[in-house]
Structure 1
Amino acid sequence: MSNQDLSAWLGKTEQAVDDLGSGQIKRVAATFGAQPIMPGAPLPALWHWCFFQDPVAESGLGADGHPARGGFLPPADNRNRMWAGSRVEFFQSLLAGIEASRLSTLTHIEEKVGRSGQLLFVTVRHEFFQNGHLCIREEQDIVYREASAPNLAPGNAVPAAQWNESVSPTAVLLFRYSAITFNAHRIHYDVPYVVDVEGYPEKVVHGPLIATLNLHAFLRAHPTAQLRTFSFRGVRPLIAPQLFEVGGTLVESNHAHLWASNEGGIAQVADLIFD
């Protein structure tokens, strides 16, 4: 499908509203082993990914578990979908228990040829508002690739870290993150589908879950940091239940490089600016 065929999707918008309620907050906190936050308290960084879902009936899902394409997102039939990365700007915290909205705009579509075949890159801008203020702006990169063997080659060597934490991606953790994000993508829980259809050896760890664990490891090491911008990009998949690590290093007093890795090397890289 050509860029010309997809031009009608550019500029499309979609809006979602969420009350950031205590029930969902308790579920998110339990997933991350954190204490629930009280109404009016700041929502921890990147927890916004666990809200603002637009539930879709099973009849409206594609074979991979994602919502069928051709609505807000353009059609990309017979391709595997990946959340490749995001660039997030933090202006002020979303507050628990207070209604907020998300305005999503499709800003970029581009077809490229990569080592695995045709790749369709789609960028969606998400803007999160509460009490009339822009709180978070995010650009999310989605990649649709032709069905082909996933990249399981070793990654780059892991640099020396100034802080790091070990993560055990259990089946329960992956299930719970899929549940709190209402994400039915089958690569995270359906082993026969994972192996027989998409070609991974086992369940795949969610990219945004890795990014969230990575950023919160940084915040535990730097509890007074005020986040300004955070970006992450997937390099290679992390496969459950193999242990992996999240960590990073300061390159300046207000600038950090973060990464996630396992014994095969770097799997996700991230960049953070903070005060």
Structure 2
Amino acid sequence: MSVGTNTIYEIQSTEDYQKFVFSCKDHVIALNFYANWAQPCQYMNNVFKELSLKFSDIKFANINAEELEEISESFEISIVPFFIILRQGKILTKVSGANPPELTKIIAQFSKKIVVPSIESSNILNEKSENEITNVLINKESEYEDLTIRLEKLVKAEPVMLFMKGTPTNPQCGFSKQIVEILNDLNVKYGFFNILSDQEVREGLKEFSNWPTYVKNIFVLSNFFRYPQLYVQGNLCGGLDIVREMIKTGEIQKLFQESGIQFT
């Protein structure tokens, strides 16, 4: 594996990540955890790219926080954008949110190069990012109007609806596989939707379910709202962890009974 100078490496798998860290063991590493749907991440991806050009002695890598959940969870990533600085496998520091001045300062701190960023310029960048994010969030309402009607029908397509990665016979992630096993053990009839087959539904359902939580240039990646998502009678129950807890307490069995849903 070769990681070139001034190149941001795109991590594609856990094995890919391990190879990257090993190949860069003599360097400081900067990791950018992002999600495609989060506007702050889109902006910070550009900032991250500019920093990679400025600080060529540091190795930069992008990690899709949702698609590579195993890596995200190993670092306890619960928000995006999120940045981790490593050296020889050890965490040196972390930076959360869309904060160009802070990220620039941290990267410069661990770089051997002497680069003095313009504080005035950085503040303008940060202000611009917040304005762009605000405008995008405001304009989303009309953008999702028609999709909302479609999602309302989808979540009510069956009394129990599972939105998952893959299909029950061919799940595409460990969490989806586990929740399918749980539902099969309950012997409950359920419909499913493969969110990998429809990007519009995948992203739109997050808005529909009031996900994610937005807090000043940070998006929360709560386990409650990661896929898979289970709906009962059109209402969101939650993801794998929540469903497990509901079964443990008997809450989901009670919900099925009250809804007239048969299970064993």
TM-score, normalised relative to structure 2 = 0.26
Q: Structure with the greater relative contact order (CA < 8 A, sep ≥ 6): 1 or 2?
A: 1
More helix by share: 2
Larger radius of gyration: 2
TM-score, normalised relative to structure 1 = 0.25
